[in-house]
Structure 1
Amino acid sequence: MDKLRWWLLGSAVPVGAACAVSASTPGPGYVGDLALAALGIATAAVLWTAGRSKQSGWRGWRLFALAPLTPVVGLVAVTVAAPESPLEQVALRWLPTVPGYVLVVVATLTLVAPSRLRGGARPAVELALFLTACVLVVQVLVLGPDPGWSDLAPTGAVVLGAAVLVTSASMAAALLLLGVIESRRQPMALVLLAATALLAPGRALGTAATLSGEHAVGDVGRFLIGGGLVLLGAAVLVDPGPCPESGRRPRSGRSTQLRQVLPYLAMTVACFGAAAVSLTGHRISPVIAVGGSLCAVLAVLHRWLTARDEQRLGARLRHSEAYFRSLVAASSDAVLILDGDLRVTWSSPTLGTTLGGSAAVPAGADLLELVHPEDAVPVARALRSAAADAPPPGVLRLRLRHADGTWRHLEASTSDLRSDAVVGAVVLYCRDTTERVARERALEQVAFTDPVTGLPNRAGFESRLEGALAETGTTCRSLLLIELEGLDEVREDAGRDVVTAVLVEVGRRLRTTVRGCDAVSRVGGGAFALLAEGAPHAVDLLADRCLSVIEQPVDTVAGVFDLSAGIGVVDLAAAGSVAELMTRAELALRAAVAAGTGSAVRYRPALGSAAERRARLRDDLPGAWDRGELSVLFQPIVSLGEQRVTGVEALLRWQHPELGEVPPTEFVPIAERAGVIGELQRWALETAAAAVLPLPHSGTPVRLGVNISASHVAARTLVRDVAAVLQSTGLAPERLVLEVTEATLMSEGEHVAVDMEALRLMGVHVALDDFGTGRSSLAHLTRLSIDVLKLDHAFVLRVDRDPKARALCESVVAIAAALGLDVVAEGVETPAQLGALRAAGCGFAQGFLLARPMRAQDLVDVLDVGAGQLWPGLVGSR
């Protein structure tokens, strides 16, 4: 745009100089005409270039770009034809120029959306008035104060009449555009009007000079035309373009005032023109008289149409106001309008009904004086922050006084319209929530209170904790989490009612033990929580007193019961949220329970580190097998009779990318609690089976033993998972040994025995793992569906030096042989243990003495060397 401005100014300077030279030279101003032709071409280029970004299609400024070229065509036609008669020269010049002015009229009207030009008869009257006034002025400039249309030849009269008409129409269109265009584009419309106001008289003076031979008048016309072309190019440069709301009616007061004033301005110009003709001593022709009278009539008609529109608009506004007032009055929501100082300017009748009378919220009253004193600061902060361009408040809650003296609860949504020039107020849409607040408080009392002890429950206590964490100050506060021990025995011996009485008594004792400012709550079945103020040593003494009162015998109708407890203590300053605080208190409580009966433990970071590690492992375990972090190692099982490897046990290993190697004893329980043990063991089964399938063997293929979790058995998917693995890998069922603990096999539910029997029918072997630990019983061996008995490491630990252990081992081996069970001794670490087991008749063994867990490739090397012979050198061969 800057380049176009300089181009237009650069073209105007030499054109002005050429017009000045033409004016100073006697005779026709051919130099000035050529300069104007060049300026017209430059203006057309500016209009075309700048107009491309204003409107799409052949509208607006693109049509304007063609108009300055038509006078150039007329100049070329006159130069080529060289007519002798001045009238012929004028006619030849105007023949192409008249269509150019028609383009100007059309282009002017297409600068705005058609919706702005519609409006009944009023725009037509305005256009007629503008056109009449312009015709009167232009025809005087063309033909002089004494127009003699009858003296002109018919061709000349038609050409000049058309010239007068189209130049007047261009000015009329510019005047109409100025009245209807949006306010942001009015500077452009003013420049365009000035351009047409210079071009029309300029062309008229040029025509008059050609007809009369007065070259001085023509020089003035050239200067006017040059200025008009420059302003026409400037108009497109100052046009900001139509806005998105260009299709709407003009709403600004400035645009409406211009539209009302312009018709009377046009009538005034026409009247002054007629008066000027009379004052110069010329006779007012009938054309001027009729034109002036027509302007007056059109002005009166325009005023009548304007008044009628104003009446209609006023009626619509009154109807609209009554309509919306009725809607507001009938609405269940009350409307309250405040000024910038938060004073009441209007309130709907609904608000008066809510508050028992309209006098409850009088006009002019300060809202902050009407609301409850506790609500004044929050209301003022919310409404005044909205005026400071802060985010608008969501729902504003306030209380207003009822006529009977009570306070009504209101919930208000806010519309801050102080920046709106029409409204200039804050609007509150209020709803009476008094009954709802009362119900919420009753429900809150129920929701936050323990029905057994009457103390706050966990939700109420956590709400109290949130308030304590939000408070600032130097007060030291601590959370004590108490868990009772012995309630299960009370329930088993005396029943639920006695347990309730015990809990009530414990709550009473705790409440009398703490100070009045301390909070006591029941947060679980046998769990209580205290929020106590004081230094750490004082809180530790309070924990000891709580333990003391809890351990005092509780006398009930069913007898005397003794309780104990564990207490976890944590400072409020040690955590930033309620969830974190409760988590740390539970960690301290677990440590206190583990420390023994009647212990109180204060939270320390080491407790959190162990919990954080478990949480990290729980989050990272799902999908660890897909990420390649899990692997399977194989520990050989050696036949003591053949002294070679006849089986292997698959052992899972997890190499965490950050925590390093995690032992199975740590991550398998986590997998069970996280619910991914089934996926984990399915992956282990499939991986181990695929690795064992190609192992070399001489004679009987190597068996594969896999540990099965109790959770996997309880999920009732073990049979399906084993069948799927056998089918996908091709492993023979008789080569697979599933190792299950005695507790799993003896668990409640017939499905366990059914699943074990189904696996054995498939050909899969079932081994009783870890026999000799816990509550292992020889009597169970006759009832369990097993094929292999695996002696735990603790069972064979002293078999080489304890006669009783050796005798027990020999008995178990003999019983297993009688029942047709293979016996595998686990954890063999010394040659003496291996010799004692062999002497006792044990068939198989595994342990570090024989081989440590190894990778599948290392196992292949072991099986290749000596056909799987594996025997320590310190133990005799036979």
Structure 2
Amino acid sequence: MTEAVWLVDPHSLTVAYSNSAAQRLVGLTGSRLQGFHVRDLAAAPQDLYRWNDVAEVSWGQVTHTQVLHASGRAIPVEQRIREVEDPEGGNWLLWTLLDRSEQEHNERELESLLAELRATLDSAADGVLVCSADGAIRAFNQKLADIWVMPAALLLQRNDAAIMAWMRDQVLSPAQYDQQLQALGQDPLVHTADILNLADRRVVERRSVPLLRHGMAVGRIFSFRDISREMEVQSGLRVAAQVFESSLDAIFIADAQGAVLQTNPACDGMLGAALSPGAQASALFAQTEPEWLDAVAQAWKEVGHWEGNRQLQRVDGSHCAVRLSWVVSRDERGQVQQSVGFIRDLTQQQAAQQKIEQLAFSDALTGLPNRLMLGQHVEQAITQDTQAEFAILFLDLDRFKIINDSLGHQFGDRVLQLVAQRLQSCLRPLDVLCRLGGDEFVLYLHACQKQHSERIARRIQDAMREPFVLDGLGFSVQCSIGMAQYPEHGRTLNELIKQADTAMYRVKASGKGSFGFYEPAMSNGLLGRVQMEHALRQALDRDALRVVYQPQVEMHTGSIVGCEALLRWTDARLGVVSPGVFIPLAEESGYIVKLGAWVLEQAVKEAMRWVKQGLGVKVSVNVSSLELHQPDYAARVASLLSAYGLPACWLELELTESALLQKEPVIVHCIEQLADLGVQLVIDDFGTGYSNLAYLKRMPISKLKVDQSFVRGLPQDMSDKAIVEAVIGLGRALDVEIVAEGVETAAQRETLMRMGCGFYQGFLCAPGVEAATFQAMLRAQAAGLEAGSLGGGVPGEDRPV
């Protein structure tokens, strides 16, 4: 028998016989087992107790217990004890044992495997749900409960229907969820994958496969994964890809070694062609010096990106100024993974910047540096070397007005350009030639002592004596030069220009066409300004001042529609004094307030006389910013209109841009009061000041006057033409009238008319004339004559100021 069998004496409980299987089981021979007490074989405590009292032995029952091996180890067995009778009638206990060692080992292995499977199931990244063919839940892991946010109470009870109902309630579309489960029940072998949108806005991916046993589907295994974050990342990647492709900025992506992996269309367009595979990102830029690459690496290390201006190397070999932002991406170990470069084309920006700098630091006519640029040169020279010595020369062309008056301002502007070229040829590379305006130039002579300054001044005089030729016409232009030396005659540019200007006027007074240094005694010439101011204050009492009127003409019809009142001064001792001289003097001294009041009264009086005669036209009067500062100015205007009975609609007040830009409450209030009176407000010399176009919206402006300095270049000068067109377009947009000043030729008038300018004034029609003469022009017009046929003036003579 394969079972271990003992015959035991029921009285002594000793072994009487054992078979070979029993001897092998306990590791003892038959002779040793003979007479062995069964308690000595028992390993389990309960067996020791039972064998002490035979009555406690379970007869005939199969029990699991343990027996001792001769080595001392316990062997699991299945035992059975029963009574048997031999042929002689003796009673024995038949004790049979079955070795269960291998069976228990297999059971332990199975339990361990099941525990591992349960741990694996609970450790899975996905939620797992196993169902039988009838839909009952066989198993699920903790991840499933986490994904579906199952409450603890639901997990403690064995209620499949409640769990399934909970899952159904979490989806955004329960009806669709039910349809999908029904479809799975109809096809038990199908493999599926779908997306569930939950009510809490999470997105869950569901996959299912059939549970097979012996090739037959006995259920279904579901796996669930929360892919909300992945969906967000994918959405972000799609947006990033769209931005990458559609970005107007050029973008490249390079690997850790700097090789370009990808470029967007804007980058290919900027380069002129797509890059060849493996091209280095640094090779996209000209002058890839090691210092720059080291700076990029250092910036990556410190802040993660480098930013600066570079020159992009196009495929055709040309260069392009760009702004590069180069960002590095690192892994968790801090190693460079890749880098992304963002490139912005600076071509237009640099061109605009150069244009702005050119306008800000250069003279529009000659292209020479202006006073601002000159100031920077002088400040740099003084800052770098406090012991430096240099000279400032103030140069004024002699009798240049004759060229303007006889040949026109356009010809005069071209002469100024030739003069600038000739003066520039006399200077050294570090010297600076600047045009202040008109026919005045200032020269900065770098590191120049007095004797050198005199030498250069002589060289300029000699060069200017050479004849000029323009349009086949030969002529001569001489100049007077005043000189001031730093630091002897001044320590700032303003002081040096002032002293050089004073020296230049002394040269002119001495016969012109020469040069000379400033001397302190020359400042005594300021006495002349004091005397002129005194004479100006007496001019009203001596009837030396008069008001003339320059017609304003409608462009298409040639009809006079208004006039500008202009102040003129003829002194018994000084003769005819230019408005360009005494008006600034009156502004500086404050006497302009009294002069302005007198001009306004004369203009109102004449305007009312013309209205009464049926010849009424609008009369424009220039107003100084000092007058607007007077708190009672608007009241005085109202008083004059009332005193003479002139309706406010016949009066226009011309304001400068600088006056409108002042935001003092007194000026703003004054302008508002004037507008309330019904007086028309006009911006004079528009475009010559520091324009802030915001005031055009704020102020009740009815008319813009284009400055004669822009009209003078028409129709040849493209810059002047562009400016005038812009002003006219602006006026049309704002619904205000445009008046062009200083129109002297029919070509200028025709050009302005084509541009859409409505009105003009200038010598083409007439200069400033006496009130009686202007009244005669109005009568002639009333009689049917065109204003332009009444005769113009000589260009440049009695120019309105």
Could you say which TM-score interval applies, normalised by the shorter chain?
Answer: 0.3 to 0.5
Larger Rg: 2
Instruction: Provide the TM-score with structure 1 as the length reference.
Output: 0.32
